[in-house]
Chain A
Amino acid sequence: MKISLNWLRKYVDIKVPNDELIKLIGARLVEVEGVIDETHKYDKIYVVKVTKAEKIPDTHLTLCQIDVGEDSLVQVVCGAPNVREGMMAVWIAPGAIVPASAKEDAPFVIGKRKMLGKYESNGMLAGADELDFGDDHSGIVEMDPELAKPGALLSEVFDLEDLILEIENKSLTHRPDCFGIIGFAREVAGILGQKFNDPGFLFEEKVFPKGFLQRVNDGLRSKDSDLSIQILRPENCSRYSAAILKVTDATEKEKYLSEMQILLAKSGMNSISRIVDITNYVMLLTGQPLHAFDYDKFIEVGNSKKPEVVVRLAKKNEKLVLLDDAEVELNENDIIIASGHTPVALAGAMGGKNTMVDDDTKNILLESASFSLYNLRKTQMAHGIFSEAITRFTKGVPCGGTFNVLAETVREIGGKTVSVVDCYPNPKSQPTVEISVQEINDLLGTKYDEKLIISTLENVGFEIEARKAKLKVTPKYWRTDIHIKEDIIEEVGRLLGYDNIEPTLPLHGTSNTNPMFELKYEIRDIMEKLGANELLTYSFVSGNLLEKADQDPRNSYKIVNSISPELQYVRQSLVPSLLDKTYINEKLPVDWFAIYEMNKIYQKEWGLDDENVPVEKMSLGFIVAERKQRETAYYKAKKYVAELLSELNIAPEYLPLKSNAASSKPFDEKRSAEIRLDGELIGVVGEFKNSVRSKFKLAQYLAGFELDLDIILGKANYKKKIEMARRKSEDLTVTTNDTYGETLKKVQAEHPDAKIYPGTIYQGVHQKTKNITFHLEYAE
């Protein structure tokens, strides 16, 4: 949203410097994303009078003499079709920047030049587009002679030395009232500690002649009004105010450059036609979007004599061509306005082409309504409409103001009001919140006195009844966000400045450690020492990746709105993701690496926990890979897992892989082991199935492990056994056909006092037996 500071100043007296003001707005209302400095945008641009205009033969150009003030005449060549003698125009003098190019990296500076080789042209007569007042380039702008004399600075005539604030809409999601200049100005007044003077029209309906309006059961309507409004479901539209106006014929004044057109441009909107401009202007002013239908077309498409406005949800397969010529297929969430049975507008989003106001419009039906923000948010996403109107409706336009704003718009448009109806099925009353001064100070940590709190709230329109430090606070209808004490505390804290609250430190107890965090912290240290690299991979994987790792995608939770097929399933274990990263890293010029990740995993077969959410486990996945190595990768991975576990004082058993768990699936059962501690499975270590390795396109020397850290957590400790005694050692070689494990058991039985370390295993080419060497150490 763009907010012109000059426009704001019309409603609030700002005495602080601009940079101070912007800082305050940022700290106490909303983030100011940027500031567009227009203080010099209209330098050297003047109001002039065309005193002479001669067509240059065989061209579209006109040679003009212009009065630039104090009777000095300047010659300028103009290409616009509407230039004529006697008109007042706008002149960009030589040396001035063309305003429309001001934002560009190299703004265009107009100069003095020769046209067609002989006509000197000084500066230029400007069109609305060149002045950055919209995109109209049909001709040059015409100035109202009553507004300024030749030689007047355009920036002075229209107050153009301005700063435009670019407001971050998101943080005002709950503040529809701030999406209009008046609401924004009210907040600025509050921030500056000033009482805001609300324009009278926000409360009165004096636009209409006395006796013209009558109160009926669903609101107000004009006498003998034949306009009927039907809201089929009030939850879609809480209030619908409408008027039928006979539009007066265009006056001479309408062709002149107007302040309204400029304000629209500053707010980022284009001038379209007088009626549409007024509805947009009132919207920018009040935050209440309006829509004007061509009344005669409305009657025609409705195929009835009587004007019947129907507010309802669209039906399936209903279609509507919008103002921008796009045909939309409506869905059953979209709220539409129908004339009788025929849709004429996608409510809150855009009007229909079939009832568009144009140059021939004689009568209009003017709408000022409040629609359900929830429906409109869906409509916005479904149809990709991001207009200024829908931006406001999706914040929840307060229903309290539709009629007052309608009345103000009628006044702006003028003409003759034929009929007015205000359909308001369930009028809302504003809640009153009771709060004490102490409650406010207790939550904020402040010592604000009652007087300050009351004036702060009253400045922005709250009505307050104070009795013995108890406040009864009632918001005005435009504040739809005030329900509970905390909402009032927020107002006080915010308007007086959160930054004025003294930061304090509460005293509270000491903390407990998180054992899993401690464990992971410890593992990180150990693995770093062992030369391994910790990495992180996504929690979501593709079905293809699961299949490559021999895991069944049906055991994975499936994301229904995934970004891509690559991220469709919640992973069941970490090793498959690591295999994927191994492929990437094998392409790098590194000859060897050990990578690991610690993260959470989920499997459908584990079911739900006590809280009815999926059981989750903390896992550790590890891969070792080498490019040129010919030895057996299994033993490398085993050494890593054994060392890690031994640092955690865990001495497990390595048994033949029988586990059919999902995390074991990628492992080759003949070249892998289950890791068990006291009979409990804590992980798997080994090489991968040939088919898995080939599907991941990985080199031969490759092994890994996956550990269940939740189980390990219960078994790990970080004690160190310190043995200072001198030790004596010997090597022992056994010739055998048994496995290493079986042999070790025998050696242990024979040397119960020894600490036994593995040595090498040797087998000669023609030998039938192996020589297993052990390294034995004894305390001396």
Chain B
Amino acid sequence: MEQLDKIGRLKQKLKELNAEYSNIGKLKAEKRAEFGRQLNLAKQKILQEIAKAEQELIDKDTEPLDITAWSGVNESLPEFYPATSGSKHPLMAELDRVTNIYQMMGFDVVESRQLDDEFHMFDSLNFVKEHPARDGYDTFRTEEGLIPPAHTSTMQHRVLRSYKHNLDEGKAIAVVVPGRVFRNEDVDATHEHTFYQCEGVYVSKDCTMGDMLGILREFFEKYYEQRLNIRTQPGYFPFTEPSLEFMIEKPKSLGGKKGDFLEMLGCGMIHPNVLKMAGIDPNEYHGFAWGGGIDRLVMLRYGLNDVRYFESGNLNFLREF
């Protein structure tokens, strides 16, 4: 009742305000605009208050429940839906599969952040101040200048710092970083602004590019459960030097034929500046890093042709898994 009275009072006030509009003609011409503006403001405010009060009224109109109970009065105890209709998201299942293999290979797993800053995203990765990737053509930014990361490499600096003690103990840093990343690009069947990547970071006293190629080949051989030929292509990333694109011969399980190669990820020897910034002496240690998309692995596995399914939330799709 109280709520209804309140709404009544507000509506009365609105009526009075509306009546004020007729007074506008009595004012001097130069005062009319300001008067109208004030009136509109007041009216907006009341309309908002009415909407709020009305919402409160609707929300009040519910029966309280005994929240401690396990069923309603005279109702049966609820049941779970059948296990056969349950499913894991294919991207998450794939991430689990990927991280499990890396764990078997001795890699720790650290999940990537979804909101980061300029320092981790660019500065710590040896992007020069004027690098075009900073200008926001494909990187999102918040009002505060924070960045939803465009790559999982945003975690490299943190990983290097937090695992530096491994080096002091004579061990290697071996970490993979799966996570969600964001690029400001239009969505179509093969492009998403939101997708998943998995980064790898390895640092030790005497690791080589041969080790990098060996680890990556090992991963994909475990992942596809077959021996694989690998191939590389020179690439360019500010945070690795040398930089490579890594390819595998398309596995038989994906219908691959001899000579078909799939680009799987970008990789390279960690740039000495990146190590230096994390407090690791590049004269004493070197390392390598890599990063590749997870979405594509899932699309290849299931023969999917549209990346937009993943974040669609559509049950017809999800219940297929």
Chain A contacts to B: CB under 8 angstroms: 26-31, 170-174, 374, 377-378, 381, 442-446, 484-487, 489-490, 493-494, 498-499, 501-506, 508-514, 516-517, 520-521, 524, 527-540, 557-563, 567, 570, 578, 580-581, 584-585, 588, 590, 592-595, 598-600, 602, 611-614, 616, 631-632, 634-636, 638-640, 643, 654-657, 668, 670-673, 686-687, 689-691, 694, 739-742, 744, 758-763, 770, 772
CB distance from A484 to the nearest CB of B (A): 7
Given A503-B210, A563-B184, verify A694-B68 contact (CB < 8 Å): no
Q: Write out the residue numbers on chain B whose beta carbons fall within 8 Å of the beta carbon of A590.
A: 315
Q: Are B78 and A581 in contact (CB under 8 A)?
A: no
Give complex CA distance A684, B115 in Å.
25
Q: Which of B71, B120, B218 contacts A761 (CB 8 A)?
A: B71
Q: Are B107 and A636 in contact (CB under 8 A)?
A: no
Report how many residues on chain B are interfacial, defined by Cβ distance under 8 Å.
116
Q: Which of A174, A444, A686 contacts B210 (CB 8 A)?
A: A444
Give complex CA distance A567, B186 in Å.
12
CB distance from A34 to the nearest CB of B (A): 15
- Closest A-chain residue to B69, C-beta based? A740
Q: Is B253 an interface residue (CB 8 A)?
A: no
CB distance from A444 to the nearest CB of B (A): 5
Q: Are A560 and B315 in contact (CB under 8 A)?
A: no
Give complex CA distance A507, B234 in Å.
27
Supply 17 further A-B pairs (C-beta < 8 A) apart from A524-B92, A584-B313: A486-B241, A489-B241, A505-B211, A508-B171, A511-B109, A517-B109, A531-B80, A533-B87, A534-B87, A559-B142, A561-B140, A567-B193, A595-B315, A598-B92, A614-B146, A671-B64, A690-B62
- Closest B-chain residue to A685, C-beta based? B67
CB-defined A-B contacts under 8 Å, sample of 23: A378-B135, A443-B269, A484-B241, A489-B269, A504-B213, A517-B99, A527-B86, A529-B83, A534-B318, A535-B318, A536-B92, A539-B148, A540-B182, A557-B144, A563-B184, A594-B81, A602-B114, A613-B117, A638-B67, A690-B61, A740-B69, A740-B70, A742-B68
Q: Write out the residue numbers on chain A whose beta carbons fall within 8 Å of the beta carbon of B64.
A: 670-671
- Closest B-chain residue to A550, C-beta based? B55
- Closest A-chain residue to B102, C-beta based? A511
Most-contacted residue by chain A among B79, B111, B216, B242 (CB, 10 A):
B242
Q: Write out the residue numbers on chain B whose beta carbons fall within 8 Å of the beta carbon of A673.
A: 67-68
Q: Is B10 an interface residue (CB 8 A)?
A: no
Q: Are B115 and A524 in contact (CB under 8 A)?
A: no
Q: Are B66 and A533 in contact (CB under 8 A)?
A: no
Q: Write out the residue numbers on chain B whose beta carbons fall within 8 Å of the beta carbon of A171.
A: 233-236, 245
Q: Which of A27, A377, A533, A690 contacts B85 (CB 8 A)?
A: A533
Q: Is B43 an interface residue (CB 8 A)?
A: no
Give complex CA distance A28, B242 in Å.
12
Q: Are A511 and B107 in contact (CB under 8 A)?
A: yes
Given A374-B132, A602-B115, verify A533-B318 contact (CB < 8 Å): yes
Give complex CA distance A584, B317 in Å.
13
- Closest B-chain residue to A570, C-beta based? B115
Q: Is B40 an interface residue (CB 8 A)?
A: no
- Closest A-chain residue to B230, C-beta based? A503
Q: Is the interface of A mostly helix, strand, loop or mixed?
A: mixed
Q: Write out the residue numbers on chain A whose beta carbons fall within 8 Å of the beta carbon of B193.
A: 563, 567
Most-contacted residue by chain A among B84, B148, B207, B234 (CB, 10 A):
B234
- Closest B-chain residue to A372, C-beta based? B130
- Closest B-chain residue to A615, C-beta based? B115
Q: Are B230 and A29 in contact (CB under 8 A)?
A: no
Q: Are A501 and B213 in contact (CB under 8 A)?
A: yes
CB distance from B118 to the nearest CB of A (A): 10
Given A499-B231, A529-B86, verify A561-B72 contact (CB < 8 Å): no
- Closest A-chain residue to B59, C-beta based? A689
Given A511-B106, A635-B72, A761-B71, verify A502-B116 contact (CB < 8 Å): no
Q: Are B271 and A504 in contact (CB under 8 A)?
A: no
Q: Write out the residue numbers on chain B whose beta carbons fall within 8 Å of the beta carbon of A539.
A: 114, 148, 180, 182, 194
CB distance from A581 to the nearest CB of B (A): 3
Q: Is B200 an interface residue (CB 8 A)?
A: no
Report the number of A-B residue pairs with Cβ-Cβ less than 8 Å: 354
Contact residues, B28-60 vs A (CB, 8 A) = 55, 58-59
Give complex CA distance A505, B70 in Å.
56
- Closest B-chain residue to A558, C-beta based? B143
Give complex CA distance A375, B235 in Å.
24
Give complex CA distance A581, B222 in Å.
36
Give complex CA distance A686, B59 in Å.
14
Q: Is B208 an interface residue (CB 8 A)?
A: yes
Give complex CA distance A513, B110 in Å.
9
Q: Write out the residue numbers on chain A whose beta carbons fall within 8 Å of the beta carbon of B209.
A: 443-445, 493, 498, 501
Contact with A along B124-153 (1 / 0, CB 8 A): 000000101001110011111010100000
Give complex CA distance A392, B73 in Å.
76
Q: Are A560 and B92 in contact (CB under 8 A)?
A: no
Given A533-B85, A536-B311, verify A26-B70 contact (CB < 8 Å): no
Q: Write out the residue numbers on chain B whose beta carbons fall within 8 Å of the beta carbon of A632.
A: 65, 71-72, 75
Q: Write out the residue numbers on chain A whose beta carbons fall within 8 Å of the beta carbon of B105.
A: 511
CB distance from B304 to the nearest CB of A (A): 14
Q: Write out the residue numbers on chain B whose beta carbons fall within 8 Å of the beta carbon of A524.
A: 88, 92-93, 96
Given A533-B87, A533-B315, A561-B184, verify A739-B69 contact (CB < 8 Å): yes
Q: Are B214 and A592 in contact (CB under 8 A)?
A: no
- Closest B-chain residue to A580, C-beta based? B313
Q: Are A558 and B142 in contact (CB under 8 A)?
A: yes
Q: Which of B103, B130, B206 contacts A442 (CB 8 A)?
A: B206
- Closest B-chain residue to A598, C-beta based? B92
Give complex CA distance A763, B55 in Å.
32
Q: Are A588 and B316 in contact (CB under 8 A)?
A: yes
Q: Are B234 and A29 in contact (CB under 8 A)?
A: yes
- Closest A-chain residue to B76, C-beta based? A760
Q: Are B80 and A503 in contact (CB under 8 A)?
A: no
Q: Write out the residue numbers on chain B whose beta carbons fall within 8 Å of the beta carbon of A558.
A: 142-143
Q: Are A557 and B233 in contact (CB under 8 A)?
A: no
Give complex CA distance A412, B318 in Å.
65
Q: Are A494 and B172 in contact (CB under 8 A)?
A: no
Q: Is B63 an interface residue (CB 8 A)?
A: yes
Give complex CA distance A27, B230 in Å.
11
Given A508-B106, A689-B59, verify A763-B115 contact (CB < 8 Å): no
Q: Write out the residue numbers on chain A whose beta carbons fall within 8 Å of the beta carbon of B80.
A: 530-531, 639-640, 643
Q: Write out the residue numbers on chain B whose beta carbons fall within 8 Å of the beta carbon of A689.
A: 58-59
CB distance from B303 to the nearest CB of A (A): 20
Q: Are B70 and A635 in contact (CB under 8 A)?
A: yes
Q: Write out the residue numbers on chain A whose beta carbons fall within 8 Å of the beta carbon of B85.
A: 531, 533, 593
Give complex CA distance A643, B81 in Å.
13
Q: Write out the residue numbers on chain A whose beta carbons fall within 8 Å of the beta carbon of B318.
A: 533-535, 595
Q: Is B255 an interface residue (CB 8 A)?
A: no
Q: Are B143 and A560 in contact (CB under 8 A)?
A: yes
Q: Are B174 and A656 in contact (CB under 8 A)?
A: no
Q: Are B86 and A528 in contact (CB under 8 A)?
A: yes
Give complex CA distance A490, B243 in Å.
8
CB distance from A14 to the nearest CB of B (A): 19
Contact residues, B201-240 vs A (CB, 8 A) = 202, 204, 206-211, 213-218, 230-236
Q: Write out the residue numbers on chain B whose beta carbons fall within 8 Å of the beta carbon of A760.
A: 71, 74-77
Give complex CA distance A672, B64 in Å.
9
Q: Write out the residue numbers on chain A whose beta carbons fall within 8 Å of the beta carbon of B113.
A: 600, 613, 616
- Closest A-chain residue to B319, C-beta based? A533
- Closest B-chain residue to A593, C-beta based? B315
Q: Write out the residue numbers on chain B whose beta carbons fall within 8 Å of the beta carbon of A31.
A: 233, 245
Q: Write out the residue numbers on chain A whose beta carbons fall within 8 Å of the beta carbon of B103.
A: 511, 513
